[in-house]
Amino acid sequence: MKLSSLRLHRSRWVLIYPDISGTRSTEKKKVLDPACQPPPELTELSESFPPKSDARKMCQSLIKTTLPAAKIKEFSKISGQSQATIQKWSNKCGLSLALAREVSDELNYRMLLSYKEEGNVDSVFGKTEQNQTTIETAIARFLDSRDAPGTKTQYTTTLGAFRRQVEEWGKTTIEDVRRIDVVQFLSTLVLAAPQTKNNYISNIRTFFEWLVDSELLDKSPVRNIKKQKAYGRQFVRLSKSEIDSICEAAETIYTGLGDIFRFMAATGIRRGELCAIRCAWVVRQGARTYLQIQKQTDTVSQYTFRPKTPKSARRIPLNPVARGIAEKATEATDIRLEKFRLAGDMVRYNVWKRRFLFASARGHPMRAGKLSPLFKRAVKLSDITPDPTLHDLRHNFAMEFLSNTNNDINALSRVLGHESVVMSLKYADHVDLEKTAGVMDQIWK
């Protein structure tokens, strides 16, 4: 049975039989009957291929299984395509061009017949109402695919607000959501900053792209929605005396909190990385001491710390200030462990033996979300204006690094763990030009 092509005509799949003359105007259309039996030629065609060939495996899988609607639509595009498309597919399967066309037609015919629940051919083009996925179910499945707790919390907040707003408009399934719905939802965020709206767009776009990749949706409604132009917040440049003042004020809040902020200012690490540091990550090599950021799983909470990017797993040389803080924290942890071991308190010993460099009073890792409010309290006590944020310690480290290395962007990118050097270029405009004035004097001297 040699078919010419398979087409979608008025939301129904039809077979097109060309006239002998080959003109498109005299083509005859015949609606496929999904209840008819599979063509026996497909089995004969499968047996004609080599035993381990891709074409034979594809034919055998089509005979035994039922493919989803998205796969049917994907493979149906092969039939009737240009010669270059068929040639590319034939080269992949090791077939001649003529045989590839025949296999294409047979596969399309067999895939259409394999999707024959309730005799509904239109279900190939779209899901029935009984099979439609609700927005709540889709969000739950999407959140199950996320690993990082912080990222999952952001998606839960964004998608939860989006679901509640869309359901108020009477739309309960993901197939009902259109581009105008996303635009109207973003317009409800009147008081949100441009960067906040852009975060909402990113999260919603990632959600719908996951639905498309999971074959739960044919097209993402967020594909053509552009982000707003957000003007970033200016960095707050802090002097060494101002940082010391903030750290001294932090010591009045909690003992050891000032050392944590001073360690962040001396290394430029992120707050999430700070809370995951183990004592074993501080490695001494000759006369230098390094901090090795790496992936590790907590044996108690079973939470796995993963660096933000592949290049965030890095080795940072520690200066004397950071090295002194790390040695002090490691010594305090060792004293606690020895105290609990001698007292026979194995419960607290097992908690503290994880050896977090900066742990809470009970030996558990510090929570990254609680460091920012504590930093704000310390800034308020030190009377420093304008108000810096905790992340400004990382920005100040970057600018001080560039000022003392004659704008070595590549080295800064490695120390900060940026995925690209482009991300580090934003600090170049904030460097004190007086530090590089000596270099400018040497040009055309």
Task: For residue 363, report the phi and psi dihedrals to the nearest 5 degrees.
Answer: 90, 0
Q: Which of 360-374, 381-395, 421-435 has the lowest mean pLDDT?
A: 421-435
Quick one: pLDDT at residue 422?
85
Q: Which of 62-76, 217-231, 359-373, 390-404 has the lowest mean pLDDT?
A: 62-76
Give, to the nearest 10 degrees, the angle between helix 392-404 and helix 257-267: 40
Q: Is the preceding omega at residue 386 within 30 degrees of 0, hence cis?
A: yes
Quick one: pLDDT at residue 131?
56
Quick one: pLDDT at residue 104?
57
Instruction: Indicate the DSSP class of residue 39.
Output: P
Tell me the β-bridge partners of 202.
none
Query: Which of 83-87, 250-254, 293-297 has the highest mean predicted lDDT (pLDDT)?
Result: 250-254
DSSP-derived 3-state class of residue 291? strand
Residue type, 57: K
Tokens of 319: 């200066």
Measured CA distances, 169 to 5, 89, 176, 376 (Å): 42, 45, 11, 40
Pair 217, 211: CB distance under 8 Å = yes
- Nearest-5° angle of CA 54, CA 55, CA 60? 100
pLDDT tens-digit map of 292-337: 998 888 777 777 787 877 888 899 999 999 999 999 999 999 999 9
- pLDDT(122) > 90: no
Quick one: pLDDT at residue 383?
86
Q: What is the mean pLDDT of the chain?
A: 75
Q: Which domains does the chain have, with CATH numbers?
A: 5-127 (no CATH), 132-213 (1.10.150), 240-430 (1.10.443.10)
Q: 326 CB contacts (<8 Å, ≥6 apart)?
A: 263, 282, 289, 291, 318, 357
Quick one: pLDDT at residue 337?
92
For residues 365 and 312, what is the distance between their CA atoms, to the nearest angstrom?
20
Pair 145, 210: CB distance under 8 Å = yes
Element (H, E) at 111: helix 97-114
Instruction: Indicate the DSSP class of residue 424.
Output: G
Quick one: pLDDT at residue 258?
93
Do the strands 288-292 and 315-317 form a parallel or antiparallel pair, or are they unpaired? Answer: antiparallel
- pLDDT(16) > 80: no
Instruction: Indicate the DSSP class of residue 278.
Output: B
Quick one: pLDDT at residue 103?
58
The residue among 158 and 17 whose pLDDT is bigger is 158
* Nearest Cα to Cα of residue 206 among 130, 151, 255, 124: 151
The mean pLDDT of 125-136, rounded to a whole number, is: 60
Instruction: Indicate the DSSP class of residue 303.
Output: P
* Nearest Cα to Cα of residue 273 among 294, 246, 303, 302: 294
Quick one: pLDDT at residue 116?
41
Residue 63 pLDDT class (50, 70, 90 cuts): low
For residues 61 and 67, what is the distance between their CA atoms, to the nearest angstrom?
9
For residues 201 and 227, what is the distance between their CA atoms, to the nearest angstrom?
7
Tokens of 227: 């982000």
Quick one: pLDDT at residue 364?
87
The residue among 159 and 422 whose pLDDT is bigger is 159
Element (H, E) at 365: none
The residue among 402 and 37 whose pLDDT is bigger is 402
The mean pLDDT of 392-414, rounded to a whole number, is: 88
The mean pLDDT of 349-360, rounded to a whole number, is: 90
For residues 106 and 38, what is the distance between their CA atoms, to the nearest angstrom?
10
Measured CA distances, 423 to 21, 218, 231, 414, 418 (Å): 62, 34, 16, 11, 6
The residue among 88 and 402 whose pLDDT is bigger is 402
The residue among 45 and 116 whose pLDDT is bigger is 45
Quick one: pLDDT at residue 406?
79
SS (H, E, C) 393-419: HHHHHHHHHHHHCCCCHHHHHHHHCCC
- pLDDT(89) > 60: no
Q: How many other C-beta atoms are found inside a 10 Å radius of the C-beta of residue 377?
A: 16
The residue among 113 and 175 whose pLDDT is bigger is 175
